[in-house]
Amino acid sequence: MLITNQFWKDNITESRDFTLGKMKKLLIGLILLIGATAQAQTDERKPQGVSSSEVYRNNPDLKLYFYYPDSKIDTANYPALMLFFGGGWRTGAPKAFEHHADYFKKRGLVVILADYRTSSVFGTPPEEAVKDAKSAMRYIRVNAKRLHINSDMIAAGGGSAGGHLAAACATIDEYNNSSDDTTISANPNALILFNPVINNGPDNYGFERVGAYYLKFSPYYNLRKGVPPTVIMQGTSDNLIPVKTIELYKQKMDSLGIRCDLHFYEGQKHGFFNISNKEYYDKTMQVVDDFLVSLNYIKK
């Protein structure tokens, strides 16, 4: 009987050890899978051809992706262009503007593609995206010298909701991350807006998500002196951004004495400026190029 009891004890111990070992292996496998999935998501969001990247905000870590001119001189300070991707504050990734970045780094700019919180990845509402955009602008200003950037020549731009974020940096005082030093300006020195969301009021894009605070959230309702010179590119057949909304924005800019170059593209829909529509990608890039030449950011 003693031998039988010992036999069962040994078998129970072996069975328990086997189960624990199996569970440990499963747990390690699950951790590795989660890590691989997170890395895959990061890689999917990362643009190509990046010179370097830096985390501008922690918890969660959010990155800026830098494109420097190939003939970069370490003693020089370059004009810069920060671009925010679109996607309705829900989706999107910095790689959306990688072709624009590659073009303008060749024209002598430091181009920065900014990541920010979206609802699909971080479960956050639109105002958190505005906070991140402003944090990104402040990070560039604080670190301009180290990054070889001229702090008086930092343009910002973006498409759709990304255009909203760029314009919000110049117009909206609300919505700042608690870690930000708000004495540092988040206002860009120029704005480049591709079919931007600039009015979130009734009958305009985003009202169903920000209706309760659209007056504080919309660049249109917060325009004031000090907003930088702006260029806007808009398709006349845009199903999300009404032509009238863009026209009213320009009228208000004009009334404030602020430069606002407005270019309409007949029959073009939302997102018409992307590389997939090469003809209008080229046309809008020429407009942006001319705009930056006029501001002495780049040479003709």
Peptide bond into 69 cis (omega under 30): no
Q: Provide mean pLDDT across the span 8-34.
A: 55
**124 and 181 belong to one structural domain:** yes
**90 and 194 belong to one structural domain:** yes
Q: Provide mean pLDDT across the span 214-224.
A: 98
Q: Does residue 142 lie within any of the structural domains?
A: yes
Q: Does residue 300 lie within any of the structural domains?
A: no
The CATH number given to whatever domain includes residue 77 is 3.40.50.1820
Q: Does residue 279 lie within any of the structural domains?
A: yes
Q: Does residue 116 lie within any of the structural domains?
A: yes
Domain tally for the chain? 2
**DSSP β-ladder status, 110-114 and 190-194:** unpaired
Distance CA 116, CA 4 (A): 65
Per residue in 179-197, pLDDT (tens digit) is 999 999 999 999 999 999 9
**122 and 109 belong to one structural domain:** yes
**98 and 152 belong to one structural domain:** yes
Q: Does residue 244 lie within any of the structural domains?
A: yes
Quick one: pLDDT at residue 72? 84
CA atoms within 13 A of residue 14's CA, in its CB half-sphere: 6
Q: Provide mean pLDDT across the span 122-144.
A: 98
**178 and 34 belong to one structural domain:** no
Per residue in 232-277, pLDDT (tens digit) is 999 999 999 999 999 999 999 999 999 999 999 999 999 999 999 9
- Domain span including residue 190: 49-294
Distance CA 272, CA 139 (A): 31
Distance CA 156, CA 172 (A): 15
